[in-house]
Amino acid sequence: MEQEQTTMLRKRLEDERAALEKTLAEYGASPGEEGIDVEGNDSFADSGQATAERSQALAMVEGLQEAWKDVTDALKRIEGGTYGKCERCGNDIPFERLEARPAARLCVTCKQRDG
């Protein structure tokens, strides 16, 4: 992969990480921490709805934290010189795949094997 392509992808990853950190902060969570503490002062009648809303918020935060970890790991691979290599087979990941999913760890063939 050419240096300018790597530079462009690094910038996208850095921007994505910043956006994820901002969104996590809006939920009262931090990158890398487990879940969030969702408090509520619910009456009995609203407890079912509140529980569903907490569950949705927790699922959202878990997804955001997982995405943050993937992006951060990709930035570490750039620093370590292994970015753009499939973690399973070691082949180059095509630029088109990285452009579509900059945090990709696997080439298309290995990803397809995962199902």
Pick the CATH number of 3-114 from 1.10.600.10, 1.20.120.910, 3.30.565.10, 1.20.1250.20: 1.20.120.910
pLDDT of residue 110: 95
For 72-115, write each residue's pLDDT tens digit: 999 999 999 999 999 999 999 999 999 999 999 999 999 999 86
Closest CA relative to residue 89, chosen from 115, 108, 67, 70:
108
pLDDT band with cut points at 50, 70 and 90 for residue 55: confident
Tens of pLDDT, residue by residue over 33-49, are: 665 554 545 555 567 77
